[in-house]
Copies of this chain bind each other. A is one copy, B any other.
Amino acid sequence: MSKIPVGILGATGMVGQRFIQLLQGHPWFEITALAASEHSAGQPYAQACSWLLPTTMPAGVRELVLQPCQTHLDCRLVFSALPSQIARETEQAFALAGYAVCSNASAHRLDPDVPLLIPEVNPEHTALIEIQRRRRGWSGLLVTSANCLATLLTLALKPLQDAFGLEQSLVVSMQAISGAGYPGVAAWDILGNVIPYIPGEEEKVEQEPRKLLGTLHSGATAILQDVPSAAPRTIPPTASEPWEAPPLYLSQAPIQISAHCNRVPVLDGHCACVSLKFHQKPTVAQVIVTLEEFTVPPEIAKLPSTPERPLVVHQEEERPQPRRDVDQEHGMTVSVGRIRSCPLLDYKFVLLGHNTLRGAAGGAIHNAELLVAQGWVT
């Protein structure tokens, strides 16, 4: 089988570089187009891009000439690492033009007809693509990966939600500077310091897991009301009919989340302290076993980016730690540790994962693999 040609929108930034790093030698995808802002377009990638990662820039992209983010790219699928305000229109244009768009941007994550995906969590949500195409008149498609911390958190919540039902989660994060892109956080602001605020982050962590853990239903009309916090959306110009009576809609999981997000002087790896309240309180042993035994169906396990163990439970009291545990299985494994009783909610634990691999570029590539495996992209 020949590889599927893919492009990257926003190829020069921190996440764009992670896309390039991860796609080097990918068994299914081959980079054939790189796109960036107008002022970089026209330059070879090696010249336009200040490479930020400790591995070497792959030889295959050095001479690729950067193009503007317009729908003439020579590829069938695009990964989007665009800033959110640019992503909204650009991603729609690409989907309209027939591209499969796997976005890491937040612009469309809460659109009711756009699947917000983690292959191990909700692969069935891709069914919304049919609704999306019918509603928007797209020949392409758009799926999104979630906020980095929301992704890591939801992976740990998924088996617990399935087994016992979740009512509440209180999350306090300590997030790496790579999450702010580049140049991102000024050294003067974070060296030996904590910044107890990340603009827009807490809202995403409180909302996105509810959609990720949501349930598909058929035949109803309630979908728009199910995303009450989503801001009103522009109607794409190609939508010729009002959106009513969809054959399929998504109801969010009823878990309530409170998030407090902090920036700490860590390079890669978001860490979070999580307290949970269950519908049916399990024993602590049941929580541990449920997390340890989390597995995925064979059609997900065979995706190239699915790690052997999506979740790992640490036994040592002082683990997981970002610098020591973030790179497990190419940064696609989420670590959990210190599972114990919470005097207020039921249980609490520590969570860790890689914010620009599992939480960004790796997650979006994983979603693209899911689309291929399900036949949405060929």
Contact = CB atoms under 8 A, between A and B. Distances in A.
A interface bracket (residues with beta carbon within 8 Å of B): 35 or more
7 contacts: A183-B183, A184-B187, A193-B322, A194-B322, A196-B318, A256-B343, A264-B264
A1 interface: no
- Residue of A56, A186, A192, A258 with highest tally of chain B CB at under 10 A: A192
Interface string A238-276: 000000000000000000111010101111000101010
Number of copies: 4
Interface string A171-187: 01010011000111111
Interface string A321-360: 1111101100000000110001111001010000000000
Contacts of A190: 187, 191
A194 B52 CA distance: 14
Contacts of A320: 196
Contact of A343 (B54, B257, B348): B257
A166 to B, nearest CB: 12
- Of all A-B residue pairs in the complex, the 7 with the closest CB atoms, nearest first, are A183-B186, A172-B172, A193-B323, A260-B273, A197-B318, A196-B350, A258-B343
Given A195-B321, A258-B275, 14 more contacts: A172-B172, A177-B191, A182-B188, A191-B191, A191-B323, A192-B192, A193-B321, A193-B323, A194-B271, A196-B318, A196-B319, A257-B344, A258-B343, A262-B271
